[in-house]
């Protein structure tokens, strides 16, 4: 991702060749074709260039650049509506009528929808801006973006003179900085959680109540939180009185973020480890919680690793390994949405078979129905699947 690999972008302007560090939150390659645009560029022109694969480096007024991007977005949405979306809907109607052939279409429909979203992201990422080495923009009326960019992309090497990134990525960094400052209120817990850039933000947190309602195992001295993200589940366990909690994540940004949240909550009994699933050198656990990425599909950018789990690798790895980390009478609380089942990307039978193969049995299950915007959007071609989604806490124990 952007912090590890250095890439450069080149363009011609005023008869001079320019080179700058390329930054992309979604790992888009450095653009090959760049033209200079400004306040005189019309939305139709920008839209045409973006669709033709030409990137546009903006020189002019920051707010005009933002308006130009909004206007291009409206054009992209209109085109989607008139073409791809109509096709998707046609297929969805077939699927929603749940005829045999229609229901077979759901995985295709899901993948088509992801492709449409990815294509939209590519088009909208073609409006670029240049920032100096301290992340200062020379565009007129540009806001202060330095702090948000450092949090998102890290400080730049002094050997580079400037960087170029998409306006959209800058907006993402500014949005993340806003959340980090204000926090996401978790009303069930009476606290706010402060997500960092690139870390799963618990904006849909219907599962919090499940973790508050589930009866704790009789002995509950040690718990693990696998894939801790912002640290939310570890904070719930600490509030419920678990004495020692060990939280892991693969993503270094998540570890920094969780540490920040533990400090804000003044929790001294949570240790963090960067690990692929389970901690090392840790006592056996009475309780192991995990809220894995819930859709079995390939992540297409670093920001998607919290949602998509290619071939259910994390889920299967977690189930296969968890028993050897459990103390006697220990419990596993697996938080899992069944959206993948409604989309026919994973079957309930497969999940139950993985649980059984892992030497585990289901002690009980608590369910909740998500109420987030997407599950209520009747114009979404996947509405039937999304509105049927149930998120469960599966309490598992050793056979």
What residue ranges bind ligand SAM (CB under 6 A)?
Answer: 200, 202, 226-230, 232-233, 248-251, 254, 276-277, 291-293, 305-306, 314
Please report, to the nearest 10 degrees, the dihedral formed by the alpha carbons of residues 37, 43, 49, 55 taken in order.
50
CB of 200 to ligand SAM, least distance (A): 4
As a three-state string, the secondary structure of 315-360 is: HHHHHHHHHHHEEEEEEEEEEEECHHHHCCCCCHHHHHHHHHHCCE
CB of 318 to ligand SAM, least distance (A): 8
CB of 277 to ligand SAM, least distance (A): 5
When the beta carbons of 58 and 200 are compared against ligand SAM, the nearer one is 200
Which pair of tokens denotes residue 391?
A: 């998120």
When the beta carbons of 121 and 186 are compared against ligand SAM, the nearer one is 186
When the beta carbons of 172 and 293 are compared against ligand SAM, the nearer one is 293
CB of 58 to ligand SAM, least distance (A): 33
When the beta carbons of 41 and 391 are compared against ligand SAM, the nearer one is 391
Terminal-to-terminal C-alpha distance of the chain: 41
When the beta carbons of 173 and 334 are compared against ligand SAM, the nearer one is 334
CB of 84 to ligand SAM, least distance (A): 28
In this structure, the chain runs to a length of 399
When the beta carbons of 31 and 198 are compared against ligand SAM, the nearer one is 198
CB of 300 to ligand SAM, least distance (A): 15
When the beta carbons of 31 and 292 are compared against ligand SAM, the nearer one is 292
When the beta carbons of 202 and 330 are compared against ligand SAM, the nearer one is 202
Nearest of 133, 161, 124 to residue 26 by alpha carbon: 124
CB of 336 to ligand SAM, least distance (A): 10
Q: CA 178 to CA 176: how far, in whole Å?
A: 5
CB of 276 to ligand SAM, least distance (A): 5
Tell the residue number behind the tokens 């469960």, with chain if given. Answer: 392
């Amino acid at each position: 991702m952007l912090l590890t690999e250095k890439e450069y972008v080149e363009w011609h302007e005023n008869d001079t060749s320019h080179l700058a560090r390329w930054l992309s939150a979604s790992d888009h390659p450095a653009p090959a074709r760049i033209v200079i645009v400004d306040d005189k560029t019309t939305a139709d022109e920008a839209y045409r260039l973006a669709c033709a694969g030409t990137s546009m480096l903006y020189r002019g007024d920051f707010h005009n650049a933002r308006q130009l991007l909004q206007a291009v977005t409206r054009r992209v949405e209109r085109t989607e509506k008139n073409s791809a979306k109509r096709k998707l809907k046609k297929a969805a109607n077939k699927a929603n009528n749940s005829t045999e052939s229609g229901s077979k279409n759901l995985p295709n429909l899901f993948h088509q929808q992801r492709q449409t979203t990815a294509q939209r992201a590519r088009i909208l990422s073609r409006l670029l801006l240049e920032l100096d080495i301290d992340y200062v923009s020379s565009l007129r009326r540009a806001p202060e973006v330095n702090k948000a960019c450092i949090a998102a992309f890290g400080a730049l090497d002094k050997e580079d003179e400037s960087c170029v990134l998409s306006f959209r990525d800058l907006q993402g960094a500014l949005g993340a900085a806003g959340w980090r400052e204000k926090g996401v209120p978790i009303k069930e817990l009476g606290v706010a959680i402060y997500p960092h850039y690139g870390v799963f933000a618990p904006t849909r947190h219907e599962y919090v109540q499940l973790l508050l309602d589930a009866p704790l195992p009789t002995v509950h001295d040690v718990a693990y939180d696998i894939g801790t993200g912002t640290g939310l589940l570890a904070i719930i366990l600490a509030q419920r009185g678990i004495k020692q909690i060990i939280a892991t994540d693969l993503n270094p940004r998540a570890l920094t973020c969780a540490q920040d949240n533990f400090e804000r909550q003044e929790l001294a009994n949570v240790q963090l480890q960067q690990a692929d699933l389970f901690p090392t050198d840790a006592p056996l656990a009475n309780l192991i919680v995990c809220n894995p990425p819930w859709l079995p599909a390939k992540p297409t950018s670093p920001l998607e690793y919290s949602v998509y789990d290619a071939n259910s690798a994390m889920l299967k790895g977690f189930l296969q390994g968890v028993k050897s980390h459990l103390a006697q009478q220990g419990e596993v609380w697996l938080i899992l949405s069944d959206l993948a089942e409604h989309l026919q990307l994973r079957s309930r039978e497969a999940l139950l078979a993985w649980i059984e193969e892992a030497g585990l049995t289901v002690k009980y299950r608590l369910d909740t129905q998500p109420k987030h915007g997407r599950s209520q959007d009747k114009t979404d071609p996947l509405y039937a699947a999304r509105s049927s989604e149930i998120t469960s806490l599966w309490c598992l124990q050793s056979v």
